[in-house]
Structure 1
């Protein structure tokens, strides 16, 4: 793994910018912080997947705390849904961290991304179609388990998997995004602890500092954006982001 030596402020500014943008998107739409930063660390800097995932989750422990607090403040959290989601998510995250630390779990990633791209297109269709019926989602605990596992094993995925599937089931976009972001704090804390037990503190380099600074600055803004943007545009933005990021990940996998 390359060593990172930041000797002046200019060298850390790109990481601050990426962390800010990724957290702003994640806080407003309920996804993308892990995917954007893991892609940067693995594809651009050549960091091994397990170390990249551990590093991103360490940063997310702080950014999700700030983002979750923002969503709680703006009353974007459905606490009943939160209770059904958080424990399975933590269990799945711990299992995913163990798997990624010991075997290659990247084989299934293109298939997961293809599924998420299809979900993104469906959300775009629902937003374009017009009236959106809001109802209580039925499949929550299994979704949290799978989402937590894929998030840790794939370096990101809690938001894309959980947010998108809850929206498909009819959950209100604003409260879905707020609840998923708030529960993510407990997931990322669990995953970070799991990675420390498996690979130690090797992943926590200075490269994560810029991501942390940018993420913490942007985190309070996500709750406000999710509260202010109407339901249909919010669902359309989630669908667009999910489709584009999934398609890009598939393209990367096919061109290795």
Structure 2
């Protein structure tokens, strides 16, 4: 047997050299140990819950003078749980491997800790970190995947909050991935070099996965849509050249109003990630634009911004292509139909205008609800009818000037879809919806209200580079409350004016 090397240790105390959390993380097989819990009140019930939720087969003895009804109910669910209603005695530590103390008697806690250490037992004492040999961390569990969070006893509230974030952010499908990796691991034979070679062959497809037609040609689809859009605008300008030249020479003051509005609305959208469509629609109606022309101006101004945003999400891998394929065709069809119907009713704008105002009034209320975190209960199940959602969202967005994000993105997230991938998919889908609905508006209406169109385009473009910086300095909740109130007031004004005309 080879002699051990002469190890040199730093004789300086650990307390003087250690920085940060000095706890050593371990995962204990409580199912193979004999566990003692002393105390069966509310805190004892919490300790028991933490133990049995992670180690259902653990042999646990509970000793307490008073046993809460909740602890009694656990006995029926976990037969390995043994309850003894009596006072603690040092002999209770015999044949025990690990101890949890949950009493409100500090003297008794100290006595239990001393007796347990005399038997070389590890002890956890509730709400007394100085008496603990180990802490119970907040646990995130996805099947066989388990993550423990420790704040070194400094802030249990922060640990619980981090647990909530991870539980929501980590998909349940991680356990499936873990099981498949385990099967792969068990199937590898041979020495270490052979296993590595085989593993490289198997995982090569993960590095360079086979892409679908949409994934492979997305950039060409974006370019094709852009070319069609520019060609349509150019054709419209050619047919209305005198009118467009007149607009450039004699710029209507309305242009400056929309320039400022586009800048402000884009800043708001950059701060809270929504409301560009609804604010622009409310403003356009208040400025006297017919609903179809207002929707056309909004969608044209959104083509460039959503194209850039969608491309960035594509480059960062934030697009769920399966979701995109289910969403895009129904959404585009719905948007084209909505744009066509709204354009066909342009001569009846005095009747469609109040309908759009009522819609924006509702969206204003939705923004206020989001600001104050008023949410509907989630059922935990992913939304299934993606095509219907896409068609409805595209139709409403084109017919009423906005709402794609408010309807589709919020529905996907509320239905259990991952927020980041939902956002990336909705953004890149929005580019095609804005482009094709704009083409429909151009075909039906021709070039109208250039002052509104160019004002929104230039204003939103000027706001884009600085929106992120400004948004960091302003409370998102404050902006959402202000936007919600303004949208509701402006929309309500349009509805009231329509009613007064009828009277």
> TM-score, normalized by length of structure 1?
0.73
Write the distance in 2 (CA, Å) between the matches of 1:28 and 1:139.
30
Whose helix fraction is larger, Structure 1's or Structure 2's? 1
- After superposition, the C-alpha distances for 1:155-174 in whole angstroms (9 at most, x for unaligned) are 22212221222232123333
Of the candidates 19, 24, 35, which is equivalent to residue 262 of structure 2? 19
Identify the residue that residue 247 of structure 1 maps to in structure 2: 488
Whose strand fraction is larger, Structure 1's or Structure 2's? 2
Distance 1:51 1:90, change over 3 A: same
Q: Does 1:70 align with 2:312?
A: yes
Identify the residue that residue 331 of structure 2 maps to in structure 1: 89
Q: Does 1:48 align with 2:329?
A: no
SS in 1 for 2:450: coil
Write the distance in 1 (CA, Å) between the matches of 2:488 and 2:309.
27
- After superposition, the C-alpha distances for 1:21-80 in whole angstroms (9 at most, x for unaligned) are 323444565532222222222212x12221121122222222221222233344443333
Query: 1:207-218 alignment to 2 at 5 Å?
Result: 207-218=452-463
Kept in 1, the 8 Å contact 2:358–2:495? The answer is: no
Query: 1:130-145 alignment to 2 at 5 Å?
Result: 136-145=382-391
Write the distance in 2 (CA, Å) between the matches of 1:76 and 1:98.
32
Q: Does 1:182 align with 2:428?
A: yes
Identify the residue that residue 58 of structure 1 maps to in structure 2: 300
Distance 1:113 1:107, change over 3 A: same
Structure 2 gap segments, 5+ residues each: 1-245, 498-503
Which of 107-116 and 236-245 deviates more?
Answer: 236-245
Write the distance in 1 (CA, Å) between the matches of 2:480 and 2:326.
24
Distance 1:148 1:170, change over 3 A: same
Aligned length: 242
Of the candidates 33, 36, 42, which is equivalent to residue 276 of structure 2? 33
Distance 1:172 1:79, change over 3 A: same
Identify the residue that residue 206 of structure 1 maps to in structure 2: 451
How much has 1:94 moved relative to structure 2?
0.6
Q: Say which one has the larger Rg.
A: 2
- After superposition, the C-alpha distances for 1:167-189 in whole angstroms (9 at most, x for unaligned) are 32123333333322221110011
> TM-score, normalized by length of structure 2?
0.40
Write the distance in 2 (CA, Å) between the matches of 1:122 and 1:89.
26
Distance 1:193 1:21, change over 3 A: same
Write the distance in 2 (CA, Å) between the matches of 1:161 and 1:237.
22
Structure 1 gap segments, 5+ residues each: none
Distance 1:72 1:41, change over 3 A: same
